[in-house]
Structure 1
Amino acid sequence: MDEPVNGSQRVLLRTVDVARESGYSVQQVRDLERLGVIPQAARSSNGYRSYTPIHVHALRAYRGLAGAVGPVAARQMLAELRTETIAQAASAINAVHVRLARERDEALRAQQALRAIQAEANTPEFEQERDAMTITELAGALNVRPSTLRFWEQEGLVAPERVTSLRARRYDLSAIRAARIVAALRGTGYSILAVRQIMGSLHQFDGLGETQRILRQRLDQIASRTLGLLRAGADLAAVVLSDQERTTT
């Protein structure tokens, strides 16, 4: 076990102390130091590590950041925060908050779009008036390019009919609804693979209700990531204001 090292001007901590205060194990503390999440610990003449409270702050900050943006991005961000000016560091942290807020807004818009689709499914007038669309009409309605609809078709997400000798695409009510669901999911950040899995679930569960459940789950995840970032706030501030000379430019 690492031994404590006494310092006259600042508190010095053993690895076990840092582990206890940060909530990580001793081995995790060493691993995260090796990965650059925290600054290199000072070494005594006999090789024992000695840390300072800033190492604890950095580890706590990493926990919240890793939950918000992922461990790889969190490691990179913490390394950058230790070398940037206060203004630059504050801007980087604010950008994460903005990104999470944007993801939440996109998920909420997708929810609203799916609710509208669900309501239209129970409206006979909609079925009568919009029983089919061309690729140009549907692309315009969804505000996407016709090439995007062709790509979705290639990926098996939307299945239009082919009519006339020119094999022109015709989107019936079922294909229109599928395209709108795909547009809503893609708009909220889901990958093609994830959308394909969700579209497949529509035929296995309760249709749009299952998609709504998945979107609610995504909103819960975004909320959890946001809370993690908020909890890391004071520790991030401590890292930014650590014992480095900084300017406010």
Structure 2
Amino acid sequence: MGELVSGSQRGLLRTVDVARESGYSVQQVRDLERLGVIPAAARSSNGYRSYTPLHVHALRAYRGLAGAIGPVAARQMLARLRTETVAEAASAINAVHARLAREREEALRAQRALRAIQAEADATECEHESEAMTITELAEALRVRPSTLRFWEQEGLVAPERVTSLRARRYGLPAIRAARIVVALRGAGYGIPAVREAMDALRQLDGPGEAQRILRHRVEEIATRTVGLLRAGADLATVVESGQAPATG
């Protein structure tokens, strides 16, 4: 990637210069300008676009933001950063870092819970293969309501091993383990659709081991998003400081 200093010395930049400096293609630069990610380029009498180094900073900043919070939210946030005070913009960026830290802690907490579940299952499965729990007993053990277990059953997350003629539910060890995994994932902040996807994968693949793989991937993905945001820090600062007056009061 070229140095922006050389671009500054030349004055205005061509689309190809911006593409080279930002890591986007020429068409992507035009598309992102159309979407409002960067301010509109100046146009010469013959219609050619002219950019400044600030456009490059904005594109680099967008790359980090898009990786951290998604492209749509990044476009909206970058537009706000160009109009907010320095204090307001800094607060918004801090909130993204805090969100990533919270997501990481939730995933790590779920990993710890799953390791405890697996260790307990390994220690007790052989001794208690015939044990089962009623819906009331399982709800009490998980500290959830029986209605929550019924809702999870409707959503395909946890199913009792049998329902008696009186419609009394009985949960064996596999169902109990599945319910505890659902509790761990829900406690980590996963919504019902994400939990359903994870539980479907568990049934098809490697049980709790697959859940750990899913969570390890999530921790790694959060780390990648965080590093991308950190790498974009200087470019975000340039965008925030460009033409913005500091907050007063």
TM-score by length of structure 1 reads 0.87
Contact 2:125 2:173 in 1 (8 A): no
SS at match of 1:202: helix
Structure 2, unaligned runs of 5 or more: 1-7
Contact 1:86 1:247 in 2 (8 A): yes
Q: Which residue of 1 aligns with 2:195?
A: 195
Q: Assess, with a 3 A threshold, how the Cα gap between structure 1 residues 132 and 103 changes in structure 2: closer, same or farther.
A: same
Whichever residue aligns with residue 35 of structure 2, its letter is L
Structure 1, unaligned runs of 5 or more: 1-7
Contact 2:62 2:78 in 1 (8 A): yes
Contact 1:100 1:222 in 2 (8 A): yes
- Correspondence list, 1:70-89, <5 A: 70-89=70-89
- Correspondence list, 1:40-55, <5 A: 40-55=40-55
Alignment of 1:31 onto 2:31:
yes
Contact 1:54 1:239 in 2 (8 A): yes
Distance in 2 of aligned mates of 1:137 and 1:235: 55
- Correspondence list, 1:203-214, <5 A: 203-214=203-214
Q: Which residue of 2 aligns with 1:162?
A: 163
Distance in 1 of aligned mates of 2:171 and 2:153: 11
Distance in 2 of aligned mates of 1:214 and 1:200: 12
Contact 2:68 2:229 in 1 (8 A): yes
Distance in 2 of aligned mates of 1:248 and 1:146: 54
SS at match of 2:242: coil
Q: Which residue of 2 aligns with 1:97?
A: 97
Distance in 2 of aligned mates of 1:99 and 1:52: 32
- Correspondence list, 1:113-152, <5 A: 113-124=113-124, 128=128, 131-152=131-152
Provide, for residues 211-246 of structure 1, a one-character-per-residue CA deviation record: whole Å limited to 9, x for no partner: 111111111111101111111111111110012344
Displacement of 1:197 in angstroms is 3.3
Displacement of 1:18 in angstroms is 0.9
Contact 2:82 2:240 in 1 (8 A): yes
Distance in 1 of aligned mates of 2:113 and 2:49: 56
Q: Which residue of 2 aligns with 1:16?
A: 16
SS at match of 1:12: coil
Q: Which residue of 1 aligns with 2:5?
A: none
Distance in 1 of aligned mates of 2:235 and 2:179: 45
* CA root-mean-square deviation: 2.5
Displacement of 1:149 in angstroms is 1.6
Distance in 1 of aligned mates of 2:101 and 2:124: 37
Alignment of 1:236 onto 2:239:
no
TM-score by length of structure 2 reads 0.87
Distance in 2 of aligned mates of 1:140 and 1:87: 48
The percentage of counterpart residues that share the same residue type is 79
Distance in 1 of aligned mates of 2:99 and 2:211: 23
Displacement of 1:52 in angstroms is 1.3
Displacement of 1:186 in angstroms is 2.5
Contact 1:87 1:248 in 2 (8 A): no
Count of residues in correspondence between the two structures? 241
Distance in 2 of aligned mates of 1:32 and 1:127: 61
Q: Assess, with a 3 A threshold, how the Cα gap between structure 1 residues 185 and 162 changes in structure 2: closer, same or farther.
A: same
Distance in 2 of aligned mates of 1:134 and 1:61: 54
Q: Which residue of 2 aligns with 1:3?
A: none
SS at match of 2:204: coil
Distance in 1 of aligned mates of 2:126 and 2:141: 14
Distance in 1 of aligned mates of 2:143 and 2:97: 28
SS at match of 1:123: helix
